[in-house]
Amino acid sequence: MDQALLLIHNELLGTNLIVYWNSERCYHCLLQVLLNVSGSAEPGKPSIAATAVSTQHGSILQLNDTLEEKEVCRLEYKFGEFGNYSLLVKHIRNGVNDIGCDLVVNKNPVDSNLPVIIAFLVGLAVVIAVCFLRFLLSLDDFNNWISKALNSRETDRLINSELGSCRADQLVGDAQPEAWRASAVRLRLHCMDTFRGLALILMVFVNYGGGKYWYFKHASWNGLTVADLVFPWFVFIMGSSIFLSMTSMLQRGCPKLRLLGKIAWRSFLLICIGVIIVNPNYCLGPLSWDKVRIPGVLQRLGVTYFVVAVLELIFAKPVPDSCASGRRCSSLQDIISSWPQWLFILMLESIWLALTFFLPVPGCPTGYLGPGGIGDLGKYPNCTGGAAGYIDRLLLGDDHLYQHPSSTVLYHTTVAYDPEGILGTINSIVMAFLGVQAGKILLYYKDQTKHILVRFTAWCCFLGLISVAFTKISENEGFIPVNKNLWSISYITTLSSFAFFILLLLYPIVDVKGLWTGAPFLYPGMNSILVYVGHEVFQNYFPFQWRLQDNQSHREHLIQNIVATALWVLIAYILYRKKVFWKI
């Protein structure tokens, strides 16, 4: 899979060759030895050597004379999967000094992306068919009545809060001011559940393998793939949910002290589930505290949730009367009311910038943001992640970090590095707080669709321009490249810009016009913890995984991963219909 056969035909008499290879996506990397080819013994009888080359990205091939250590030829080419190629190395122009390298296709490659295209077209056809069916049903008044009758309001009642409900008999000693109760309105925005479900389903799909396609895996270092989008979006929506649910509970008179206890307990449970149940170091054998991975996805969610929720709880204010009553709200009310939180977030970001660019790291240049390994011409092999990696290794130890970072694929790194490490958690908090801002826009300007859309557009453009300034619209040449492993600030601004754009589309379609219910993403979005933990725990069990007839087939892997992902959507739908929602 993702390989082609390359035959090297060396017609040079008595000249041994060494073939170097590298991927064009490996930035400033040392060339790696691919194979050695002996010289031809007699004219007309070339020496032939065979090797496999990667087809995921373009390849750089360089042939050197083994004896004189000089370059014979160099070429760049994108090989196709399961293709058969020959590289002919020979003298040209009847001379002995001019050497040519010609690439010949012996067998055409297969189109490895065809299964993805077919799956997309099938999915599109299903969506069109469902929309057409709904349109036909909408023509019948009886069917409209049935549809309305089946629309249970009880479901919304059961899921009114991310933090759970607070009963009247529990409100003791810390009653909230009348200002909170005056505007007590329950607000359930299905665009948020839809967005959360979309991010979660993409996460499940890529975690299950994504058909073994490179663009459904995390980027080796700088840059973005589909897999790099989902976790930050989940954090963003968590931030929005924190504000909306906390405001709702405060408006209903729930004491702040009780809310603080709920926040601490939920954070503790997320961290425990991440460390004990969803731990990738199980692949090393039975869980041992000597090898347990301390950072992780749920651990980061737990810490991020605690910091942002406590921050909002400390500085919580009632929605201004002008906003709560539906009258025109001040143009910057959602930002001005949060100035203490913004000050705290800016201080956190200053800490991230100071540590990232000014912390001395032994054996590494100060401010290093590279992958180490063979990157940067192999000068800093043990400097993966710069300050971020150094802090994790210093405080947590190598054995408690992720042992298979994505940087090993192209950059051949050898040190442990955790993409959910300590330093990156700061920017995760920033991401969640930007989600809080989205929630404030939706609540402060409730029923003012134009104002909401204008603010979503403004945030999308503002954060996008910051990303342009940081990256100089380049994958590797910017001041701070977009990097999921580091959770760089440019990664946060870029993904937040995308998130505001998605809400800009979903809010009017789902919540204002009602053109789309959000299905099927709505269902996993309402049971996100259960789906995430469940898909991790049962990943290697049937029917989520089975023995494939051809383990080297993208098509079979893609079908298996789509079926497994669809099963979790089905499970979430059944639980939704039965009004079962797992909250912690």
Active-site positions read: 218
State the alpha helices, DSSP H only, in 273-386: 297-314, 321-324, 333-336, 339-358
- Give the residue among 298, 561, 304 at the shortest CA–CA distance from 436: 304
Between CA 304 and CA 78 the distance in angstroms is 42
Give the list of residues 6+ apart from residue 88 with CB closer than 8 angstroms, or none.
9, 11, 46, 100, 101, 102, 103, 104
CB 57 within 8 A of CB 22: no
Distance CA 213, CA 503 (A): 28
Measured distance CA(19)–CA(64) in Å, rounded: 7
Report the distance separating Cα 581 and Cα 584, nearest Å: 10
d(CA 459, CA 495): 12
Residue 151 and residue 396: Cα distance in Å, rounded?
Answer: 50
> What is the spatial distance between Cα 364 and Cα 516, in angstroms, rounded to a whole number?
52
What is residue 222's three-state secondary structure?
Answer: strand
Beta strands in 1-112 (DSSP E): 3-10, 17-23, 32-37, 47-54, 59-65, 71-77, 84-91, 99-107
3-state helix, strand, coil in the chain (%, to 5): 50, 10, 40
What are the two backbone dihedrals, phi and then psi, of residue 199, each rounded to the nearest 5 degrees? -65, -40
Q: Which residues make Cβ contacts (< 8 Å) with residue 584, sequence separation at least 6?
A: 266, 269, 270, 273, 529
Residues 6+ apart with CB under 8 A from 366: 357, 358, 359, 360
CA distances to 20, 38, 100, 154, 162 from 13, in Å: 20, 9, 14, 83, 74
CA–CA dist 519, 56 (Å, integer): 34
> Could you give the maximum distance between any two Cα atoms of the chain, in Å?
98
For 285-302, give one letter per residue: b (16+ CB within 10 A) or e: eeeeeeebbbbbbbbbbb
| 27 token code pair | 């930035």
Residue 190, burial from CB neighbour count under 10 angstroms (0-12, 13-18, 19+)? buried
Phi, psi of 276 (to 5 degrees): -90, -40
3-state secondary structure 248-262: HHHHCCCCHHHHHHH
Q: Report helix angle 554-577 to 114-138, nearest 10.
A: 30
Distance, CA of 509 to CA of 384 (rounded, Å)? 44
In angstroms, how far is CA 9 from the centroid of its own chain? 43
CA distance 241 to 235: 10
